[in-house]
Structure 1
């Protein structure tokens, strides 16, 4: 790991771990010696980071040089914590971790009193049911949406019949108990909804549908609004 990458991770640990954090804890997380960690802290201080504390007592990041200060109202903080907590509960592991990292970064930009509001927010999220584990790699599926690349999926319909088809993935919808992929199906030449857990597998194709995603998604959402609902499982239009 290069020194620049290590310094970035040290800053990230300051944002994520409860303060004060000891050099031993950070050194263990990074897989380096405590001596190296002390040198990294001194490098960050020279660069302008305000890091309080000392060896044996632990360190606290008081001013983050990497992130600009944010001004959020108490209600905005509640909304932020509630929304990102929901993502941590509903998202796949990569998305849940991204929510935790985002909250840590935002917290680091706030004044101390606002940080306390985040740590002791009024709104909490709890789900009695654990979301089903997706049958496909959600990181790859998101990447296909971001890149506007066609994918070939193997899909199991409501009758259990398997079929292969090429689709243009447009958006992933988080319903109460499942994930729904909104797409333009090239087999049917129409908009379709696919339950992610019914996708047995998919392959990213070289075919690109850029720059059509925004227009297609806008048109699809407009079509769904005329039906008043994104159809839940067991009541969706035939695929």
Structure 2
């Protein structure tokens, strides 16, 4: 098998499923060594493919430079407009500005008919009651979450007690009246939910937990759904997520 053909085969395997694809499995499918797979991944990255992951964890194709941008069906476009306008309502200032800019970019790149449909969309979003504004820069917290580094929080609970926590930030969820951080809490040694408007202070550390954020978040959300379903079955109501 030539090197160019093998690179093509690696890309084809990465395109299949959501990943991550381990080097051992890719090597088995291609009949080559895991070391050759790592070299091929490095070459594909140099050629422009955006591939997330690392040795010992697995690889996921994030952006494929070989495939052209796909167009949108009208209903997909309406969903995008509604979603971006919702972000303008509930997001922090940087996120709201990014949503507005994304709408402008979409309009500039769409065919004329769809650009007109976006400009005069029949769907919109408006919140009479927006989430409580946070006292910290959410952009910095999002960046720490993407960077997969632990953060230190000064957290004020519902009774006004302040505790210091070092947590692994896994993701942010926007509820009707509050935005919450889902994180692994070192103090509780378990997943906890923190309302961001109750975070009095925040500092990113240099302690990395890469590349474990995605599977940890997936497990945390699955456990939260199971807990809520169990509570709902017992009480006949859907309980709120528990804090800190």
The 3 A distance-change label for structure 1 pair 130 and 176 is closer
Q: Over residues 44-88 of structure 1, what are the superposed CA-to-partner deviations in whole Å (9 max), with x where a residue is unaligned?
A: xxxxxxxxxxxxxxxxxxxxxxxx775222211111110000001
- Do 2:155 and 2:201's aligned partners in 1 also have CA atoms closer than 8 Å? yes
Contact 2:178 2:195 (C-alpha < 8 Å) held by counterparts: yes
Equivalent residue, structure 2, for 1:126:
126
- Secondary structure at the aligned position of 1:211 is classed as coil
Whole-angstrom CA distance in 2 between matches of 1:128 and 1:236: 23
Q: Counterpart in 2 of 1:71?
A: 71
Q: So what's the TM-score if we normalise by structure 2?
A: 0.65
Greater C-alpha Rg: 1
Distance 1:235 1:70, change over 3 A: closer
Aligned to 2:113: 113
Aligned partners of 2:105, 2:153: CA distance in 1, in Å? 36
| In structure 2, distance between residues paired with 1:94 and 1:238 | 26
> What residue number does 1:166 align with?
166
Unaligned segments of structure 2, at least 5 residues: 1-67, 232-238
Show the counterpart of 2:196. Answer: 196
Unpaired runs of 5+ residues, structure 1, are: 1-67
Separation (CA, whole Å) in 1 of partners of 2:242 and 2:221: 15
Please report how far the alpha carbon of residue 101 of structure 1 lies from its aligned counterpart in structure 2 after TM superposition.
1.2
Root-mean-square deviation (Å): 1.9
Aligned length: 169
Could you tell me the TM-score, scaled by structure 1's length? 0.67
1:88 aligns to what? 88
Contact 1:69–1:110 (CA under 8 A) maintained in structure 2: no
Structure 2: how far apart are the matches of 1:180 and 1:69?
33
Local SS of the residue matching 2:218: helix
Instruction: Give deviations 1:119-143, integer Å, cap 9, x for gaps.
Output: 1111111122233211110000000
Q: CA 1:238/1:144 → structure 2, altered by over 3 Å: closer, same or farther?
A: closer
**2:225 is equivalent to residue 220 of structure 1:** no
Displacement of 1:209 in angstroms is: 0.7
Give the superposition deviation at 1:152: 0.5
- Take 2:135 and 2:163, find their aligned partners in 1: how far apart are those partners? 16
Structure-2 change in CA distance of 1:102 and 1:238 (3 Å): closer
Alignment of 1:171-186 (within 5 A): 171-186=171-186
How many angstroms does 1:227 deviate by?
1.4
